[in-house]
A and B are shown apart, each in its own frame.
Chain A
Amino acid sequence: MGNEALRAAGLTKRYGRVVALDGLDLEVGTGEVHAFLGPNGAGKTTTIRILLGLLRKDGGEVSLLGRDPWRDAVGLHRRLAYVPGDVTLWPALTGGEIIDLLGDLRGGLDQARRRELTERFSLDPTRKARAYSRGNRQKVALIAALASRAELLLLDEPTAGLDPLMEAVFRDCVAAQRREGRTVLLSSHLLAEAEALADRVTIIRAGQTVETGTLAALRHLTRISVEAELARPAVLDDLPGVHELSVTGTTVRCQVDRAALDEVTGRLHQAGIRALTCRPPALEELFLRYYTPERSAPGGG
């Protein structure tokens, strides 16, 4: 128990006939940045709302900082900060007022950090929320969360409205939070974000966990992307473990299972290598495999 900031096992939630969570498992260790990945509608937001005690689970187990998020919601909320995916604010209040309001409601705000973050995110806190763009509304919620003294941050697609510059600021801030020993759960469908920030990753689909682990561990399961420019055409299509092969003249592109890598490079070598790129799989490719139903399950052939 002691080392987990957050644990869910076999979590289920249904809305009428729609099953939103179907036995979801999620574990986040204290002090880690954990990416929570899945396509739209996979159940990310539902999970986070259950963790916040805003929704009641139908089945399974869930604990947050060692306590029950539904029964101890208020006590837990003293120790966490949340940024929703779609931030709605009070139209007649200014951004600065709302940051302070949310700080008050959470039980404290680090004023020095609030000033620093407002500057770094270049937010004008004197404007009314109704005049803010989506990105600026997001910044208000982010500043309020990052300037809080919470030990756990729950961020639901926090960069959806931010430009690349602000995204970089956000990444810096999350890294700083980790150095201070805070736990971050970062839900996203942006893989670059997870790759840049996360210690561990949980991937869900249709309300179920399909994969969890460190990025390195996940890559074990995955194919290597090979692209080669050859002297002569090579024959690869008879090899087991070669996928998505495309041959254009002397250019070869394919995905190779780790077990078949040796064999493939041997054949390429025989054909005379002019140029060779071998890439570990980007998370995008992992993603494509999990979310494209026709493809086989990971680890198979």
Chain B
Amino acid sequence: MSGRTGPAGPASPPSPRFAGTGRLTRLILRRDGLLLPVCVSGIAALLAITARDLKVLYPTAASRQSVAARAGGNPALRFLLGRLNGTTVGAFLAARWAVWGSAFAVLLTVFIVIRHTRGDEEAGRLELVGSAVVGRQAPLTAALLTAGPVNLALALLTFGWLAVLRLPAAGSAALALSIAGCGLAFAGVAAVTAQLATTARGARGLALGALGAAFVLRAVGDAGSTANLSWLTWVSPLGWVESARAFGAAGERWWVLLLPLAASAALVAAAFALAARRDLGAGLLADRPGRPDASGLLRGPFSLAWRVQRLMLAAWLAAFGFGFAACGAGARGAGSILGGNAVLRRYLLRAGYQATVINAYLSALMLLAGLAAAVFATAAVLRLRAEETGGLAEPVLAAATGRIRWALSHISVAVGGAALLLAGAGLAAGLGYGLLTGQVGTQVPDLVGAALARLPAVAVLAAVAVLLFGLLPWASAALAWTAVALVGVIAVFGPPLQWPAWLMDISPFTHVPRLPGAAVTAGPLLWLGGIALAAGAAGLIGLRRRDLGDLGPAGLGGLGGPVRDRLADHFFPPAETL
């Protein structure tokens, strides 16, 4: 025996179950050292934009009071936006940012925790790591030791921004800490779901499902006019953010900040207990045995593409149905509130170019559906790149399937799925609004048509992703998402801030008819479709000419190389790891 260690072995720091945590934490920082600061600053920048947005929309105390008075009495709006705890700019910002800021913090936290636990385990990397002097709890601990400080940094930046905006320090601290608390609570949720599901995708799905459930609990608790349902708010981490009453007229409730900490501690303890008992690679939700043979529905590349993306599409459809039904139901109340605020009214009418506030609201809703469908379509197109780098494209392309057919198989999911989603959004909003007003017969077809009118714009963004995939594959994900984000920012912030026309014209959504309630002209729809076809065809030609598995020019320069590599690692992970 090479006597480095005796039979007893030296006791490693505190407990062998956590051995190697420090080294693994450094590994995470090595892998994500660039991405995490970028994301945290990005979230802080969105906070700044939101604050400016609010100041433009509600400049005076009177304008805020009138909105608060109407919103307080409307269950549908309480359902969507939560309760307002005051009429100051801070209280408005808290109401708006509590939802968005928490959602971003949760997304980032879930991403970090799952990527470095179940993600690495599914990919097989934890098998190699686990055979070294690494305790069973070390990977999860390292992920949590990263997620915690990231949320703390987010809280610090949030607090800093709010201080710059000269908002009261107490409220700023309460908002920043309650959002970070929500992130920490979901660090616990993700730690548990990483033990339950056997795939990173599944673990992320469960954690984000929990976020959806938290939203619904908070929403139903807030919408109830009496106290009988308000307890639901108290079992939702999103409800806690609201219940901390940052900038509240009655003062902050500091003790509420303890709730997410307690939940986080309990969930993390549960995750550790599960991790200590289970086998590597195993989950508690076992895979069910599948079919022994391929069904008639799984024949050829097209059905394969639909098959591998159908879960994602189903989840999007469910979210669309629920979300747009709720928003449609809120339309009537929204109409009266929005109509009462002169600035907002002007904003909506400008954004929607509508004669009536209600149509402006519905049109804005359908614009939102279009933007969300563009996110889906872009993700579906970029699946091509993920399959290419993950080695899943090779067996398909090595068979009697041409590149074009293979690419079209996923593009069909992107465009077909987006059309389904838009139709679903129109149907749900039409039912939600029509059932309340007794106009189902007219609202459903109107809104389905209004939603589908956005399809050419969605197709343009999908075609941009195809173009990038064909010509700049190594940067396709980063650039395609940048394009979607740019279009989103233009659509949301451009009209109220009166951005110049040339800037607004970049977004394809600027050019589609603003239905319902606007004149339909076929021209823009046709030329948008033409642009989509041309860009898509150019991308496919590029795909046919380039190497598969192209990692990009090797020497993008001393700085560019590592940056590109890390971006590439985040945006095109081997299939199934992200």
By a beta-carbon cutoff of 8 Å, the part of chain A in contact with chain B is: 15-16, 30, 49, 52-56, 65-67, 72-82, 84, 86-93, 101-102, 104-108, 128, 130-131, 141, 149-151, 154, 180-182
Bound together, the chains give a CA A141 to CA B20 distance in angstroms of: 18
Since A52-B130, A54-B280, A91-B573 are in contact, a sample of 14 more A-B pairs with Cβ atoms closer than 8 Å, ordered by chain A residue number, is A55-B280, A66-B7, A73-B136, A74-B135, A75-B5, A75-B8, A80-B131, A87-B124, A92-B565, A92-B569, A105-B133, A107-B132, A130-B551, A141-B128
For A151, give the chain B residue with the smallest CB separation: B2
Q: What are 19 A-B interface contacts by the 8 Å CB criterion?
A: A54-B127, A73-B16, A73-B136, A74-B135, A78-B9, A79-B4, A82-B131, A88-B124, A88-B127, A88-B128, A92-B565, A92-B568, A92-B569, A102-B128, A105-B20, A105-B134, A106-B132, A107-B4, A108-B4
B17 contacts the other chain (CB 8 A): yes
CA A84 to CA B132, docked complex, whole Å: 12
Pair A101/B27 contact, Cβ less than 8 Å: yes
Expressed in whole angstroms, the Cα–Cα distance for A131 and B554 within the complex equals 11
Main secondary structure of the interface of A (DSSP, over half): loop
Asked whether, in the complex, the Cβ of A181 is within 8 Å of the Cβ of B2, the reply is yes
State whether the Cβ of B307 lies closer than 8 Å to any Cβ in chain A. Answer: no
B133 near A107: Cβ-Cβ < 8 Å: yes
Determine how close the nearest CB of chain A comes to the CB of B385; give it in whole angstroms. Answer: 13
B2 and A90 form a contact (CB under 8 A): no
- Which chain B residues in 308-354 approach chain A with CB under 8 Å? none
Chain A residue nearest to B280 in the complex (CB): A54
Most buried by A among B24, B128, B135, B569: B128
* Contacts A55-B280, A78-B9, A151-B2 given; does A16 touch B128 at CB 8 Å: no
Contacting residues, chain A, for B281 (C-beta < 8 A): 54
B286 within 8 A of A: yes
Closest chain A residue to B561, Cβ basis: A128
Nearest chain A residue, comparing its CB with the CB of B130? A54
**Docked-complex contact B5 and A78, CB < 8 angstroms:** yes
> Considering only CB atoms and an 8 Å cut-off, how many residues of chain B contact the other chain?
44
Contact mask for chain B residues 277-297; partner A; CB cutoff 8 A; 1 contact, 0 none: 101111000100000000000
Q: Are A54 and B131 in contact (CB under 8 A)?
A: yes
- By a CB distance below 8 angstroms, the chain A residues around B125 are 88-90
In whole angstroms, how far apart are the Cα atoms of A79 and B1 in the complex?
9
Cα–Cα distance between A108 and B280 once the two chains are bound (Å)? 24
Collect the chain B residues with CB atoms within 8 Å of residue A150's CB: 2
| Chain A residue, CB-CB nearest to B2 | A151
B52 CB within 8 Å of chain A: no
How far does the Cβ of A57 sit from chain B's closest Cβ, in whole Å?
10
The docked-state distance in angstroms from the alpha carbon of A105 to that of B574 is 24
Query: Could you say which residues of chain B place their CB within 8 Å of the CB of A55?
Result: 279-280, 282
Chain B, 1-38, contact with A by CB distance < 8 Å: what is the 0/1 string?
Answer: 11011011100100011011001100100110000000
Measured between alpha carbons, how far is A180 from B1 in the docked complex, in Å?
10
B67 at the interface (CB under 8 A from A): no
Give chain B nearest CB distance to A196 CB in angstroms: 25
Residues of B within 8 A of A149 (CB): 2, 4
Closest partner residue, chain B, to A97 (CB atom): B30
Contact B128 A74 (CB under 8 A): no
Q: Taking the nearest CB of chain A, how far is it from the CB of B202, in angstroms?
A: 17
Which residues from chain A contact B574 at a C-beta distance below 8 Å? 91, 130
* Chain A min CB distance to B496 (Å): 40
Of residues 562 to 578 in B, which have CB atoms within 8 Å of A's CB atoms?
Answer: 565-566, 568-569, 573-574
Report whether A87 and B565 are in contact in the complex, using a CB–CB cutoff of 8 Å.
no
